[in-house]
Amino acid sequence: MTDDPYALATEAATALKSAVGVDSFDVALVMGSGWVPAADAIGETIAEIPVTDLPGFLPPAVAGHAGKVRAVRTESGTIALIFLGRTHLYEGRGVDPVVHGVRTAIKAGAGTIVLTNAAGGLRPETQKVGEAVLISDHINLSGASPITGPTFVDLTDVYTPRLRDLAREVDPSLAEGVYVAFRGPTYETPAEVRMCRILGGDMVGMSTVLEAIAAREGGAEVLGISLVTNPGAGLVGEPLNHAEVLEVGRATAARMGVLLSKVVGKL
């Protein structure tokens, strides 16, 4: 990465628009673990390229992340950019690569960023595995931020209320919750899960918050959606594994795709 991540994002955005053959994008979606199959329902594919063809992007390091970027046209005519995977902080590549996709999307014209993830559910008494939950707020326990220096970004409404209202128009049953982000790559201990519940968390994971902060810094609106793929550690007595996360994603792909398609169609 260069010393100026915004310069590199501008370069990547220019290359992306040229490769796809469009002047601008309306919305960008980042597909989390298990969400990639849902992308097929969002719209007609215009182009799909490896992210490594663009400046500043790194190859994927996690199963369930395809390392490609897809441009689609929805039924409503919206031009959407879909990142089929993301870089995580725990990969040890630094903060800038984690948020490079979001910054590139904004420089390419996207005024709305939809962030999806797979998350552990902290409220098994009310949450079901395979349930989508709107992110209403977050608690950043990653120990990192994409912003350095005296740049003070208001995060009062980091996840835009208007967009959550639009999502509930599509599916009134959607619940809301607070997403707690750890650095990873280890899953949380039972004690950490209990702490998260005390702090008011509803879902826990290893992504999303740095991208949301970068999006708000860039002036974009943010919609966050977690797919609850398992109860948090110690809540039901079962061990956690990434294969389970991906399996839940595959099982719910069609339903999540329809949800995203309808939400994007309202933007």
R_g over Cα of the chain: 17
Catalytic residue among 169, 188, 211, 247: 188
Runs of H (alpha helix) within the chain: 5-20, 95-107, 161-170, 190-199, 209-217, 242-266
**Six token digits for residue 73:** 């046209």
| H helix count then E strand count, the chain | 6, 9
The distance from CA 79 to its chain's CA centroid, rounded to whole angstroms, is 18
Task: Give every CB contact of residue 32 below 8 A, 6+ residues apart in sequence.
Answer: 86, 115, 116, 117, 118, 207, 208, 227
Angle separating helix axes 242-266 and 161-170, nearest 10 degrees: 90
* Residue 188 a catalytic site member: yes
User: Which residues are annotated as catalytic?
Assistant: 188
